[in-house]
Chains A and B, each alone.
Chain A
Amino acid sequence: MPQEATTGSFPSLLDVTRLSSKQMVIIPLAFLLFSASILAWNAARTGTLFNYGIDFTGGTLISFPNSYELAPEEIEAELKQKFPIAEISVKKGGGVLSVESQGKADEILALMAAEYGKEGTRTTLEVPLAETFKRQAPVVLVAAYIGMVIVVYVVFRSVLPSLLVAATAFLDMFEAVAFMTVLGVSLSLATVAALLMLIGYSVDDNILLTTRLLRRREEMRQRIRDGLKTGLTMTLTTLAALIALYVFTTSDVLRDIAIVLILGMSADIMNTWLFNAGAMRGYLEKRYRLLEERGRGR
């Protein structure tokens, strides 16, 4: 039984080692380019690189959960007509209708309650505090990232593997942010928290991969296959929990956290087991060849 669990038949579809290490690295890099072009497209379309939510711009956000039957365009037209000065925009996702406005929050809440019987949660942020958050959030993210890189380097004491772990985490975050713009999820305090958490999750299976490759002694491709098996189990359990959170809740905070992590963890499967694994494999194979040649030379 134990034997079977680790080395047993491996679904060939998932066997990334059929690719050469160069191919393994190129696929995620191509995907990175794709994500970057999404961001660029969004920047050209909206004029800003990221979709900042009201946490970073200031304003009011009102979310009405369980609003499956309401059409955002109609509500937007109605609210705009009633409150012409309030710069209103309405979005909907997963049955949650989100109204962003500058002011008139109490009036909008009252109107939605009276006409549609909807109750909503409201967040209002004045510009100075939003600017404080906008200043602090990148600092928190960068500090967390640098801290992670330092820990990884201290543990592995080897530059390239540490850099690869760091690069993978960066790819995960970058691609999560790019796909957030596609899904219309804006940057908020909740999504920043999710990106922080993504650093933690992303590093989990990368550390596993690096440890397996550096410490185990069987054939390289087998090490990657074994690692992939463990890593996939880890990521799939995480995804299962996140999908449950996304599907079963209507709180925008929890849903935003869940969706960012789902995007990031999906990207992480590719970035860890193609990019990081491919690069590590190339690096180790080269090192072994050098060692071998040196051994022969003697």
Chain B
Amino acid sequence: MKLRSDMLRDWRIQLLILMDLGSLLVLLPVVTKSTTELTVEDVNSSLILMHVLESSYQNVTRLSSALNEGLWVHSFCFSVVTPRDNETMVSELKAKLSGMIPRGIPPDVLVLNGTLVHANVTATDRDCVVTLIEGSLGPKGKVIWVQSLGKSISITVNKRLNRAELEELLGTSARVVEFKTPRTLKTNLKFGIDFLGGFYYNVRPVGVTFTAKVEAGNVTQTLLGDFLNTTPTLTEEGEKGLLTFEIPTPGADSVLMDLAINDFFSTYANLREISFTFGNETSELVMNASNYDALEAVLNATFSVRYDVVGGSEASGVFEVEGKNSEADRTELEASLNKYLEILSFDSKVSGETMTEVEKMIESRADFMGVSDLRIKRAGEYIIVESPERIAGNSSVLEPLDFEARLWTSGNITVRAFTSEDVSRVDHYYFVSEAGGWAVPMTLRRSAAEKLRDLALTHGAIDADETVRRKHPLGMFFNGVEVYNASFSSDLAQSMREEYVVSFLAITGGPRENDEARKRAEDLYINLEASFPTKLRTAGEGQIPAMLGKDFARQVVSAAAAAVIGVLAIIYLRYRRPKLVVAVMGVSLSEVLILLGFSTLVGQYLDLGSVAGIVAAIGTGVDEQIVITDEALYQGEGKRRLVMSTRISRAFFVVFTAAATVIIAMAPLAYVGLGRLRGFAIMTIVGVLAGISITRPAYGRMVRYLVED
């Protein structure tokens, strides 16, 4: 007993215990929980919707249904006969339908005649089945995880369900293929898609950045020379970018020269003419151009793709330039820019700000699409997106939505009015008190505005008569799904009858408290405005089915158990000291605990790479414990008998050297990342660091006590 209290008084061992407790605290604030994991297939969302509608209304008929492959949504049209025809009825029906499809597109309820109501509903199988199940859970029940993989949808619910009751609830509208009610130990550990199942995408925002050294004098001299086909001389470089040129003009016409100079300054609009004095032999031109102006002029004149100056300083003349969507390489850039300026460095990736913007965009897109739990990491010029659900291909989280506005011409026939290219600007949505509704301000290009006016005039959409206008509303669609529909207001119609109008307010409804209208405005704004700053190229993708992910997790646990048994058996066979075996096991488990605690603390997701990293770190850890043990047991011979501290410090020479080499060997991988392998490098490095700072010193102490007893 004395021995043990001695050990506990050592600060190294105390530190180890403290770290263990800390890690436990980080990992385990929650106890076991009942959950239900279920997978359903062959979901019939139309049946679910019918079922819900029939519970409140009579004579529900499904008129049509269509599957939109792009968004994987179904569009249904139901006709409902209502006992009375009034506004409350319609809004009741709308509220009911919206509640059923929380993430879908707002339902559209049209009163046809008398008591016949048509409801257009757009919903996904996933939303319908989740809504149905969630509705049956009672106040505290919640769906905590959903994944749809093709036709099967896996759902985890935070309480224990009864299979028979669930099957009764679903009826023929879905088939339960898997049903489990495990009591799971809930920890704060965050599992990656490798263990949960899901998809990952490696996307690259297309673009380049480069830095260039610019001298306004040289640049403008070259531009001027090329433009006028002469060789101007820069005679004076004054303060504040005042540049004086002498242009040889023997036998030139002064009027033509004036015109040419005017032309030059309208071509390079950001260079400013100060004065032009025509002479018979030489003319003098004074202009004002900073280095920045000169660079802009070159970029605008040389490229059809947009290049923006994103940083730099006027004084040094060194600027950073970003070409979003440019796919040029350094040689190409140099070929077109060399006569103006010098390219100092080149990188075939977009700027950090653009990367951040793209990441934010992906997040808000996912939010709009109802995909939760997206994980976004950066790896060099790539962005790695992990998602429990498929988000690429046609599903538009990673791809721009196809937007178009269509005008109703007669009956149900529509004609395209404008597309996203025609929208030059979209501003943040707000509540317009004069109009009494939420609105998204948007500006059309002139040509599109003219076309819209022509269309509207031809079909009567801006007729003076409101009833005529009502028959010809303007609808807005994303990937063919309608998100907005309204007819022109009388004010707007009047202005448009007089002349084309470029600025509109797309009013999505009111009053101010109407959250649904606000949400519609927000969605419209996000999807129109926040188009990706650059094209995204999907360079790689992968998927792990949920079932296999869970298999992997279970396998890792059994592999770990087998590894522990194997390692401990070897150590016992070698030393025949049970206490040593316990010490090695305790220290190694501490290391695992500390690593898991660390990854939870920094919000890292546990994937296959990081599991391999933990294995690697524990592997070297055990190796080093063996080194320490053997050195501690070695007493030297005769006169050279070594005291314990010398032995242990010798061991630590090996331990520190080995640790340094592992860290150095993993550093390049931690830096480069190589796809999804950064976790491997980080876990190994952190494991080794924790080893040399916490667990190895503690083990050294334990061995002292164990060997000396």
Contacts and interface: CB of A to CB of B under 8 A. Distances in A.
Contacts of A237: 566-567, 570-571, 619, 622-623, 626
Contacts of B667: 143-144, 147
Nearest to B381: A132
A240 B566 contact: yes
Given A126-B539, A200-B620, A201-B620, A236 B665 contact: no
Contacts of B637: 217-218
B547 A136 contact: no
B633 A6 contact: yes
Given A241-B563, A251-B555, A55 B675 contact: yes
A194 to B, nearest CB: 8
B618 A241 contact: yes
Contact of A139 (B548, B551, B672): B672
A199 B667 CA distance: 12
Contacts of A151: 657, 660-661, 664
Interface in A218-258: 218, 226, 229-230, 233-234, 236-238, 240-245, 247-251, 253-254, 257
Interface in A66-119: 66, 110, 119
Nearest to B203: A129
Contact of A144 (B539, B653, B666): B666
A196 B683 CA distance: 14
B562 interface: yes
A189 B677 contact: yes
Interface string B202-213: 101000000000
A17 B575 CA distance: 23
A200 B665 CA distance: 7
Interface in A111-152: 119-126, 128-130, 133, 136-137, 139-140, 143-145, 147-148, 150-152
B338 interface: no
B32 to A, nearest CB: 25
Nearest to A248: B559
Contacts of B653: 211
B707 interface: yes
Contacts of B540: 123-126, 129-130
Interface stretch (B241-249, B446-454, B608-616): B608-616
Contacts of B575: 5
Interface in B492-548: 537-545, 547-548
A245 B558 CA distance: 9
A197 interface: yes
A196 B670 CA distance: 11
Contacts of B194: 251, 253
A264 interface: no
Contact of B538 (A126, A226, A240, A254): A126
B658 to A, nearest CB: 5
B548 A119 contact: yes
Given A133-B674, A140-B674, A143-B668, A230 B615 contact: no
A205 B623 CA distance: 8
A32 interface: no
A207 B661 contact: yes
A200 B621 CA distance: 12
A51 to B, nearest CB: 18
Contacts of A192: 674, 677
Given A151-B660, A248-B558, A123 B551 contact: no
Contacts of B382: 129
Contacts of B176: none
B665 A144 contact: yes
B57 interface: no
A143 B541 CA distance: 28
Nearest to A66: B551
A53 B637 CA distance: 54
A147 B665 contact: yes
A3 B636 CA distance: 10
B343 interface: no
A233 B657 contact: no
A240 B662 contact: no
B566 A128 contact: no
A204 interface: yes
A254 B556 contact: yes
B625 to A, nearest CB: 9
Nearest to A235: B623
A208 interface: yes
A295 interface: no
B674 A119 contact: no
B350 to A, nearest CB: 15
Given A233-B571, A249-B556, A249-B559, A193 B669 contact: yes
A40 B556 CA distance: 36
B630 A229 contact: yes
A204 B659 CA distance: 8
A269 interface: no
Interface string B186-204: 0000000010000000101
B684 interface: yes
A189 B674 contact: yes
A65 interface: yes
B668 A140 contact: yes
B697 to A, nearest CB: 18
Contacts of B2: none
B362 to A, nearest CB: 18
Contacts of B660: 151, 155
A105 B540 CA distance: 13
A255 to B, nearest CB: 10
A245 B559 contact: yes
B623 A238 contact: yes
Interface centre among B202, B622, B623, B672 (most CB of A within 10 A): B623
Contacts of A280: none
Contact of B633 (A2, A66, A121, A241): A2
B227 interface: no
Interface in A145-173: 145, 147-148, 150-152, 155
Given A241-B618, A249-B556, A250-B552, A125 B539 contact: yes
Given A197-B666, A203-B658, A238-B623, 14 more contacts: A3-B635, A6-B635, A121-B545, A124-B540, A139-B668, A152-B657, A155-B657, A155-B660, A208-B658, A226-B634, A245-B559, A250-B552, A253-B609, A254-B556
17 contacts: A2-B707, A6-B633, A65-B551, A121-B542, A122-B543, A140-B668, A147-B665, A196-B681, A207-B658, A229-B630, A233-B626, A234-B627, A241-B567, A244-B562, A251-B608, A253-B608, A254-B552
Q: Enumerate the 6 nearest inter-chain pairs by beta-carbon distance, A residue then B residue, closest first.
A: A240-B566, A129-B539, A147-B664, A248-B559, A200-B662, A244-B562
Interface of B: 150, 194, 202, 204, 382, 537-545, 547-548, 551-552, 555-556, 558-560, 562-563, 566-567, 569-571, 574-576, 608-609, 611-612, 615-616, 618-620, 622-624, 626-627, 630, 633-637, 640, 650, 653-654, 657-658, 660-662, 664-669, 672, 674-677, 680-681, 684, 707
